[in-house]
Chain A
Amino acid sequence: MPALPTENMNQAKAAAIQAKGLSCGYEGKLILSDINFSVRQGEAFFIIGGSGCGKSTLLRTLVGLNTPQEGSVDILGKPFSKADLPTRRAQLRNIGMLFQSSALWSSLTLRQNVALPLEEHTALTRREIDEISMLKLAQLGLKGYEDYYPAEISGGMKKRAGLARALALDPAIVFFDEPWAGLDPITSRKLNHQIKDIQQTFGTTLVIVSHELESIFELADRVIMLDKDAKGIIAEGNPHALLKSTTDNRVKDFLHRGSSNNHPV
């Protein structure tokens, strides 16, 4: 079961995610160095920054798709990146992820896509798995599309189906990689509402990589901003507070583009 609702969270609880001295990159090329942050349970945490600053690389390292060059990641108070494979796989049950491309398994229907994690990680009966899959899809407005293949639905529906799959095991933490990329404004707004609902209903921790300023200001409790040249975090805090208080031009420039775009801020 997911964590408790946000308002009941207390500081004594272990951090949902703790990154300690994390350095990551590809093929010997260092992209981010000495990254330290923690994500509290139940909060909407955004990783923001310009293109190529390493947002997605950091996200992939957090979920274990990339091995950190240095440092470590703890999830729900337990070592994750340095744990052995079976332990890591067991911990992955607490995690869901919505990929930028949705990454639905193309040979399976939407129902089978949602059902697969349940088949792998639970001892539920076929009927129960089917019911849960249909429920998750219906929650995200995909009722009637259960037996469609990913190739037969639109990009927005794929995102929602991807989210339904990410939520299949009612994870405590859901990671999102650019969830609004390629979506029209109306579909983006709907997705925003659905993400907000999930967080408020189940107290799920959200870790979102994005540079969609409107969504950042609407959803984020806290952000970290990465910078390509600094190879690290250049700002951390609530986006509204940062907008008012930051003296860093890079942060100002990034966040102000949102406010000049008729943003309530």
Chain B
Amino acid sequence: MPATSKILLAEVSIETTNKSLEVCVSGIWHIASKKPSWSQYSTSLKDIDLVFIKTSGLEAWDSSLLLFLIEIKTWCKIHKIACTTSALPTRMYDLLENLEGVYDSEIAKPRGENFLATVGIATQQAWFNLKGILGFIGEACLGLARLPSRLGKFRWRDWIHQMQACGVMSLPIVSLISFLVGLTLAYQAAVELRQFGADIFIADIVGLSVVREMGPMMAAIILAGRTGASFAATIGNMRANEEIDALEVLGISAIDFLVIPRLLALGLMMPLLTLYANCVGILGGMVVAGGILQIPPSAYWIETQSSIDLTDLGTGLLKATTFGLLIGLSGCMRGLQSERSAEGVGKATTSAVVTAILLIIIADSLFAILFHALGI
């Protein structure tokens, strides 16, 4: 290889005189290149009183050299050996002095806690969380109670916009999911019913399941993922951008301005979407019944009508309205509780969906117990 193209690497040479060790660094030290480690040299050293560090033929250096020098100084400190760096170039010497004890600094805010402290903090957070949820529900109820007295100031335009966003814009996905749910239910039922010659009851099974349970539930799950997450992300972003603070300073209640229009939009749209989901679900069942069991649509429709009454429809719609309010509350609450950062908004969005789905399942179970007790 010609001399002009010689690549200089980070190099270290050591020389021992009596009990003194001279360390000389040279070449090019670059953080992305291979660098020597002090442990390569230190293992063979014995009976040293003084380490003297100097440079010779040093072409270029960066943090990699500093790390190496700190490694030597730390080793000296551990082995109680004097270390002299005064022969280093001034800037390097100053930088090294400034970095003295950089690894010894105390952690300003301890992140790790012992088990008891972790449990304590988690319990405290759970308590604050519960208080937050109850406080928010209370404020939202007060906001709804205030509504009749401030109808003139109600954000009608926002309300309509929200209804469009969570209602009309959700129709395609609600159609697809509801149709497939009706279809799946009918398929499952068709296999069993055919064995008993009870083909026509497929309409009863699909109709009742969809109207009482699957319609409201599927519409709610879709809206929790779609609209609840959107509420949390929008409001969380507003919080991060100080827009919520601006509302507060101007004496405008964030509950009245942001939460109530969204709650009312979802509270109204959910039953309507559920009615629509019911129809599409029944249609899905009808397609399977016609295709597999050769039941004519008219017969299927008459059987469906005979099996479902207004009580069934009413229970489904009551659930739907409740689920809508729960989704709205979760989305808005998590948004308002969001931390003021991009990560905080992400967490709030995830939390809104999880909270909404959890509350929907709990509410559904309570409704099941209640309807059973009431005999409806």
Contacts and interface: CB of A to CB of B under 8 A. Distances in A.
Interface in B102-138: none
Contacts of A58: none
A95 interface: yes
Nearest to A177: B242
B136 to A, nearest CB: 15
Nearest to B240: A101
Interface in A131-165: 165
Interface stretch (B53-61, B248-256, B311-319): B248-256
Nearest to B251: A92
Contacts of B247: 105
A119 B252 CA distance: 10
B246 interface: yes
A120 B246 contact: no
A103 interface: yes
SS class, residues of chain A in contact with chain B: mixed
B206 to A, nearest CB: 42
Contacts of A97: 246, 249-250
A152 B249 CA distance: 24
B135 to A, nearest CB: 13
A117 B221 CA distance: 37
B242 A92 contact: no
Interface string B240-276: 0111011111111100000000000000000000000
A90 interface: yes
Contacts of A165: 246, 250
A120 B251 contact: yes
A59 B252 CA distance: 19
Contact of B251 (A99, A101, A121): A121
Nearest to B157: A112
A106 B249 contact: no
A65 interface: yes
A165 B248 CA distance: 13
A105 B243 contact: yes
A117 B243 contact: no
Contacts of A119: 153
B12 interface: no
A104 B251 contact: no
Contacts of A198: none
Contacts of B245: 60, 65, 99, 103
A106 B243 contact: yes
Nearest to B161: A107
A104 B252 contact: no
Contacts of A106: 238, 241, 243
Given A106-B241, A120-B153, A99 B246 contact: yes
B346 to A, nearest CB: 18
A92 B249 contact: yes
B342 to A, nearest CB: 14
24 contacts: A60-B245, A64-B248, A65-B245, A89-B251, A92-B250, A95-B249, A96-B249, A96-B250, A97-B249, A97-B250, A101-B242, A103-B245, A104-B243, A104-B246, A106-B238, A106-B243, A116-B250, A116-B252, A117-B250, A120-B153, A120-B251, A121-B251, A165-B250, A175-B249
Interface of A: 60, 63-65, 89-90, 92-93, 95-97, 99-101, 103-106, 116-117, 119-121, 165, 169, 175
Given A92-B250, A117-B250, A175-B249, 10 more contacts: A60-B245, A89-B251, A90-B251, A95-B249, A106-B238, A117-B251, A117-B252, A120-B250, A120-B251, A169-B250
